[in-house]
Amino acid sequence: MDSFSSLIRTASHEQHVAAETSTFMSDLLGGRLGVAAYARYTEQLWFVYEALESTAERLAADPVAGPFVRPELFRLPALERDLAHLRGPGWRAGLSALPATRAYADRVRECAERWPGGYVAHHYTRYLGDLSGGQIIRDRAEKTWGFARKGDGVRFYVFDAIPNPAAFKRDYRELLDRIGVDDLEKQRVVSECKRAFALNTAVFGALGEEFPLSA
Ligand code: HEM
């Protein structure tokens, strides 16, 4: 049987393509959106990472999810700096989640509270993606809206505490391969990973509706 890390990667491949080629992402990567759309997207990420990270400490001792909880991944402080840059000092008072974002964050929290394997699925879907395609998004954002390289506005994509992302991802995949659950539970985690991608795509869909291109 394939390793769990390849299983989870292969199983979500199609949805990865769907997320990558969603109208909102294509417009964002194509430099066709204004900075308000980027700020709105960044704001949505805040809700997702708040759900992932405010629950992380409690999961750190969990035998299944615990090994994945690594402070060097934490994104919330970086997101907050980006939002202060994008929206100004009052950013927190103006935070609002799209219904699709609320559904996504609620699901993450539900897994964090009741199902460590499900939390791992969400953890993988976000952080491994951020370490990979996130770098492409950062590059486009810097060019499109003129943020300083790796500076305020794109700090979310900068993992200061991970100097070698390729090595980190390799270690992460090894952690996945050693996950202490049986095959049935692995299948459930794979299903949750697909759900995580679908939740992301739904957020892109909602953002695409909010920021349709006039052209
Ligand atoms: C425009 C958007 C995106 C681009 C350009 C992109 C690009 C990439 C690239 C190039 C990789 C390969 C990295 C490698 O082989 O090490 C990757 C991996 C990954 N991406 Fe994306 N991605 C995008 C959006 C997303 C989204 C929205 C998600 C989910 C929230 C996501 C989740 C992942 C995951 C989990 C991996 C790791 C796969 C693995 O090695 O197991 N990506 N992405």
Q: Which atom of ligand 1 is nearest to the CA of 169?
A: 16
The model's pLDDT over 150-169, given as tens digits with 9 standing for 90+, comes to 999 999 999 999 999 999 99
Q: How far apart (Å, rounded) are the C-alpha atoms in residues 122 and 109?
A: 10
Q: What is the pLDDT of residue 1?
A: 63
CB of 99 closer than 8 Å to CB of 158: no
- Gap between the Cα atoms of 185 and 173, Å rounded: 17
Ligand 1 pocket: which of 132, 194, 197, 203 to mutate (most atoms <8 Å of CB)? 132
Residue 101, classed as helix, strand or coil, is helix
Q: Cα separation of 30 and 132, whole Å?
A: 18
**Which CATH superfamily is 4-210 part of?**
Heme oxygenase-like (1.20.910.10)
> Cα of 137 to ligand 1 centre, how many Å?
11
Concatenated DSSP letters for 130-163?
HHTTHHHHHHHHHHHH-PPTTSTTSGGG--TT-S
CA separation for the pair 159, 73 (Å, rounded): 7
pLDDT band at residue 213, thresholds of 50, 70 and 90? confident
- Percentages of the chain per state (helix, strand, coil), in multiples of 5: 70, 0, 30
What is the spatial distance between Cα 198 and Cα 19, in angstroms, rounded to a whole number?
A: 8
Q: pTM of this prediction?
A: 0.95
Q: 163 alpha carbon to ligand 1 midpoint, in Å? A: 19
* Residue 215 scores a pLDDT above 80: no
Determine the Cα–Cα distance for residues 120 and 103; give it in Å rounded to an integer: 18
Of all protein residues, the one whose alpha carbon is nearest to atom 41 of ligand 1 is: 9
64-116 pLDDT per residue, tens: 999 999 999 999 999 999 999 999 999 999 999 999 999 999 999 999 999 99
At residue 128, the 3 state secondary structure works out as helix
CB 64 within 8 A of CB 180: yes
Whether ligand 1 lies within 6 angstroms of the CB of 19 is answered as yes
Ligand 1 atom closest to Cα of 127? 35
Distance 13 CA to ligand 1 centre (A): 9
Model confidence at 63, pLDDT cuts 50, 70, 90, reads very high
